[in-house]
Amino acid sequence: MIKRIFAIFLVAAVAGPVPVRAQDAAAPFDGDLQRLAEILGTLHYLRGICGTNEGQKWRAEMQALVDAETPSGERRSRMIASFNRGYNGFQQTYRSCTPAANVAIRRYLEEGSKISRDLTARYAN
């Protein structure tokens, strides 16, 4: 089940990026992008301590999201800050993998998958 959710989340995040914006003005989906970035940061930390041996996978997903959106200035800073907030927030809470960390991973995979699907359905060409 988790592998299926993970696969959906991954495909939606990579294959269905939102359209590139020419200007640096706030987009109507920026809140969702920031939440997705925070989830990616959380997964980057939690999957690492839970021994999944994924290396920089979730950081690379974040980079792909930034590359697809090509934000600059304040928008870029907010996305990166969201990723770091997700990573740092769980770094302060979890020092090792626990059952609660595994529950959090599952929930964040589900939420990230939903956000990705919704963004793709609403804004992709």
pLDDT at 125 (0 to 100): 67
Whole-number pLDDT of residue 28: 86
The pLDDT assigned to 73 comes to 86
Residue in 90, 109, 104, 97 with CA at minimum distance from that of residue 45: 90
The pair of structure tokens assigned to 66 is: 């930034």
Q: For residues 82 and 97, what is the distance between their CA atoms, to the nearest angstrom?
A: 22
Q: State residue 4's pLDDT score.
A: 42
- DSSP code of residue 16: S
Q: Per-residue pLDDT for the chain (125 aa), expressed as one digit of tens each? A: 444 444 445 444 444 444 444 445 678 888 999 999 999 999 999 999 998 889 999 999 999 999 988 878 888 999 999 999 999 999 999 999 999 999 999 999 999 999 999 998 988 76
Q: Are 123 and 21 in contact (CB under 8 A)?
A: no
State how far the Cα of 120 lies from the Cα of 125, in Å rounded to an integer: 8
What confidence score (pLDDT) does residue 86 get? 96
Please state, in angstroms and rounded to a whole number, the distance separating the CA atoms of residues 85 and 39.
9
